[in-house]
Amino acid sequence: MARKKKSRSIVQRFDDYFGTGTLEDWQRLCGDIGLDANLSSITQCRKVLKTVHINIHDLLDAVDQGRLPHRFGNARELANYTVNTRRIFPKKKVKEMGPVKALMRHIL
């Protein structure tokens, strides 16, 4: 039961952080990760987000603390960290074509 509650919590935290999905929301996400925040389309934002490896829990914690999240060098490093810390975003809650989809990596 605690695991389900925690899962909903991270999903709600990300939904609250991200907003409605406007270009400005995508640009803010890119900027909060340390990427170019002036991209001119959601498609460009989505493409650049696919190039970084960050943990979504860590992203939200970093935003709350006013700092950049740790960026892993590759998907394997991110996977190892995510499994070891159990800071996993529930795959069932990934919305098709949304920002979480652009950030998700194959972990297990």
* pLDDT at residue 103 tops 70: yes
Mean of per-residue pLDDT scores for the chain: 89
Residue 8, pLDDT > 60, answer: no
8 A C-beta contact, residue 100 and residue 56 = yes
Q: Which amino acid is at 88?
A: I
Angle (nearest 5°) at CA 88 between 41 and 47? 20
Q: Comparing C-alpha atoms, which of 2, 1, 35, 9 is closest to residue 90?
A: 9
pLDDT tens readout for residues 35-69: 999 999 999 999 999 999 999 999 999 999 999 99
CA distance 82 to 71: 12
Q: What are phi and psi of 53, to 5 degrees?
A: -125, 100
- Show the tokens assigned to 43: 């498609």
pTM: 0.84
